[in-house]
Structure 1
Amino acid sequence: MKFHLEVDMDDAASAEESARELGRILRYWGGNLHRYALRPGDGSAVHDSGYREVGRWSIISTDGS
């Protein structure tokens, strides 16, 4: 299996703001990790601190199924 996380970073934000926001997203997701089965096909939208959808995570099968 592969874990895939894609987050669109706002081009208008400074590097510092982008790093802070990405850190918040990763902490939030990591803190909720126990809530997911983490099986191929699982996934969900990723939201920023303004509750805007900025990406998605998913579990991908690597065995071709």
Structure 2
Amino acid sequence: MKFLLEVDMGDSGFDGEAAKELGRILRYWAGGLQHYDLQPGDSAVVVDSAYREVGKWSVVGPSATEG
């Protein structure tokens, strides 16, 4: 299976604050990780610091490399 994280940083890369915003998104997601089984089909939206939906994460499977 694969874990996919997709974040749309917009045309301006979060107004030049991409590292800061992506770091916050990753910390927020990692903090909530324990609430998911992380099985194929699990997913959730990803929001920025203004709570705007900017992407999603999902678990898909099986991976293309699995027999």
TM (normalized to structure 2)? 0.86
Contact 2:2 2:63 in 1 (8 A): no
Number of positions where the alignment pairs a residue of Structure 1 with one of Structure 2: 62
Identity fraction in percent? 60
Q: Which residue of 2 aligns with 1:36?
A: 36
Secondary structure of the equivalent of 1:9?
coil
1:5-61 CA deviation, whole Å, 9 max, x = no partner? 0000132211xx111000000000001100011000000100001000000000001
| Residue identity matched to 1:59 | V
Please give the root-mean-square deviation of Cα atoms over the aligned residues, in Å: 1.4
Moved runs in structure 1, 4+ residues, more than 6 A? none
TM (normalized to structure 1)? 0.88
Unaligned runs of 5+ in 1: none
